[in-house]
Each structure stands twice: as structure tokens, then as C-alpha cells.
Structure 1
């Protein structure tokens, strides 16, 4: 009888990362159908500790903390996906153009990247979010403003490295146009570091979005967002269960994406093998 063996690339950390990420994605997609209570309903007495009726207790308004934690995935996970995708799109375009064209265009674009990276990410995100006003959409815009320069640098470095390879030189000698040369011969070989970095950044975006909500620059009450829930728990310090659920949720999401990113790096980057 043949026994199933896991593929060599499926390490324990990567399998754990896949399981955690898949769990929270499934929660975000299906929580409306099976959560114990609605996230905004006052279903019990206020500030009740964990019990068989409310596994993570209730908050200051009598809302079920477990239900609000589960519904928080419907806000935090889409923000992470939208911010990372937009940052990758903007940063990769800027980096590819700068690395491929070089010259004064490269100098101007990279100085803009340097200026953006000179600010601490959390302070820049706070400044942009404060200018735009509270709200998850504005928080997402602020996070894109923080993250795109990282991908611009990554893509620029890869494009510069790839465009000096022999197959690109042969394509230039055969008369391939600039656009086709970039999109067909260079970019497909330049995506690996961006993909790995983007996978790890999903968790970091969730963490930074929660930080903005914690200080009042993200989700607007009564939205069940993890950072806003932790902020409520900080107000009621002795009701520790209010912050426990969203805190564990953020921890598991960040760890899950980090494990997944490490696994992808080991799989796609020959230098790490």
C-alpha cells in the first residue's frame, strides 16, 4: 500500500502558513452565514467575561466579541489585498520604467522613491490618513502611499539585472521593440522578489491598518475592525477579553503570511536552497 508523501517544497512552516491564511480567507468569505451573532447587535450584558453563551465575552455595548472578531476579517483581509495589489502595480510600473530607461528618468523617479522612504512608514501613513480623514478607504490610500516605493526599488533592481543578460542582448540585436522587450523578455524574469515580498507584506498591511484604526485614523465605529476593537479594549483595561480576540487574529494573520512568504522564497529563490 502506497503512503502519501508531502512534496519536498511543502515544509512544516509553509503548510502552517497556508492553513492559517486559508482559514482567515474562508472566514472572510463565509462568516455572514455561520457567525453566532451579528457584529452590531447588543446580545448580552455589557462587559461580561467569557462564558458558554459568549466564548470571548461581550464589550462595553453588550456585543459578542467573538462574532465581531470573526467579522473583522471581512474588513482587514480585503484591505490587505487591495493595498498590496495597488502598491505592487504602482511600484512595479515605476521601478520597471526607471530600471529599463535609465538616465534622467531613472534619477527623477528614484529620488521620488528616496523622499518617500525617508519618512518612517507609520508616520507617513498617519499623516496621509489624517489629511484624508478617518475611514477604511482613506486608510488604504495612506498605506498604498507608504508601500509602493518598496516595490519600485525591488523591480528596478531586477530589471537592471535582467536587461544585461544574454537573451535580452540577443533580442535587441534581432530588432525587438522596446515595449515587447520589457514585457516579454525582462518582466517575466523579474517578478520573483516582488511576489515573495508581497506575500509577506499582506500581514504587515493588516498590522499597520490595525494601528491606524487603533489611533482613530482607520475604521469608523461601530465597524468591527481588529485595530478599533483593540482600542476599545484599551479603554476598558480590566476587560482583557475585548482585545484578546482581535489581538490573536492579527498575530495569526501576520505569522501565517510570514510563513507562507518564507516558503515561497525557499521554493522560488535558488540562492536560498
Structure 2
């Protein structure tokens, strides 16, 4: 086989965008997405049931041991995907929808409206994300729903600023000027000629932010502002494990779960960047 035929043969066997890190990321995320659906089937025990003695180390009966109440840590870790991943998806979808819309209108309309939106964005982004999420969640009270609201408030300005920058760049292109000269309406120009070309960085950022939202949700639960007991959520499980210094297995399972999910979404985001951004080639 000649050297010139090697790239072609490789592309026939493996898509050129499917790098090893992205394949690993897809496998990790697919596994946890399956757990969202199949956790009640594959988990060996009920996550709320007291199935053994308290703080039992890993054994054949309990692969990741039991917690301070005698609940199976492996089962609670698998069920944790039911709470952590859907919340992250909902938060990112809402933040993208709200932030991208306001950012697009700010960049296209401009004027006093655009300035007001961006000043609101600047004020929100001036606070550290964790501190702002803690303040909002504390004012609303503990609970995953309130934590999700807090995280949407933290994340929407990121997408508003990113979308505005994209709209400002695309609206100066020749095809937009041609649409204006042809008499197209402003909504048609925005939604048909500008926005379809602005979603690449939004998609990449949203994919990578899924892992960061899971991490922030776990942090809020860790300090008591997220999921409330006895919900099997990864952050609250790590909080329980932090109180049992010598029982390392209590926090090991949820810690590995958070680590792998964040890495998986980051790998996928990097792969999407390589695939969708022509400047990366």
C-alpha cells in the first residue's frame, strides 16, 4: 500500500473527526446516558434501602461498600446519573436558549436595547460563578430545581456574549448585505441569514459546559444547597463521604462518576471543535 493511500484507507475505516479522545468521550458519556435509563435495572440494590451494616468496605456483596446508613454505594452512584445528567442538560438548554436569543437581539438591533443587555451581562459575569450560584441557591432554598435556576442565571450571560460576538461578525458579510439590498425583513435576515452561521461556537461551548454544570451542581449539593437527602446525587454523596475520613469508598464512586463525565464531555467538545472549526485543520 502506498503512502498516498494510507489516509484514504484510514478514512474508510474510521471517520476523520473521530479521534481517540473523542471516541473515549463518546464511550464515557454513552455509558452514563445508559445509566440514566437503565439504572433501576442494573443497580444491584435500591439506592434508599438499608442493605448491609454501616460503612462496610468493598466486598463481593457491595462492590463499592456501604455508606454511613448501610446503603449500597454502587447503586447510589448509578442512580446519581438520574439526577445529575438530566439537570445539566436542562440547565444548558435553558441557558443557551435564553442567552443566545438575547445575545442575537443585542448584536443585531444594537442601540439602547443592546447596550442594556450587555451591561446586564457584564454585571452578572463580574461575580465568580460559584459565588453567584451559591447566593441565588441560598436565597431560593435547597433543592435541585432551585439549584438549576441558580445555574441558568450563572450561565446564560456566557452564551449571550458569545452569540452577540458571532452576530456582529456575520452581519457584516456580503450575503447579509445582499439580503438587505433585496428588501428582506429584519427578522428574516436575522433568523435565516445570520443565526444559522453562528451556532458552531455555541454548540462546542455547550457540550463542554455540560460537564462544568454537573460539577457546579455537585458543588452546590456538597454544601447543602442542591439535592436534599436521601436523594442519591453525586455531590451530596461526596459530602457524606467527607464526613467519614477513613471510609474512603463512600466518596470514591461518585467522585469517579463526576471525573469521568466531565472528562467525557470535554473530550467530545474538543472533537467537535476539530470537526466544526475549519481553522483547526
State TM-score, norm by structure 2: 0.96
Structure-1 residue corresponding to 2:222: 214
1:13 aligns with 2:13: no
Cα distance in structure 1, aligned partners of 2:239 and 2:116? 41
Q: What are the within-5 Å matches in structure 2 for residues 20-169 of structure 1?
A: 20-169=28-177
1:243 aligns with 2:243: no
1:224 aligns with 2:240: no
Please identify runs of 4+ aligned residues in structure 1 that moved more than 3 A.
none
Partner SS state of residue 73, structure 1? helix
Cα distance in structure 2, aligned partners of 1:101 and 1:182? 10
- Give the drift of 1:229: 0.2
Structure-1 residue corresponding to 2:194: 186
- Give the drift of 1:34: 2.0
- Give the drift of 1:105: 1.3
TM-align CA RMSD: 1.0
Structure-2 residue corresponding to 1:196: 204
1:256 is matched with which residue: 258, 264, 273?
Answer: 264
Partner SS state of residue 129, structure 1? helix
Count of residues in correspondence between the two structures: 272
- Give the drift of 1:257: 0.1
Cα distance in structure 2, aligned partners of 1:145 and 1:7? 38
- Give the drift of 1:209: 0.1
Question: Unaligned stretches of 5+ in structure 1?
Answer: none
- Give the drift of 1:246: 0.1
- Give the drift of 1:32: 0.9
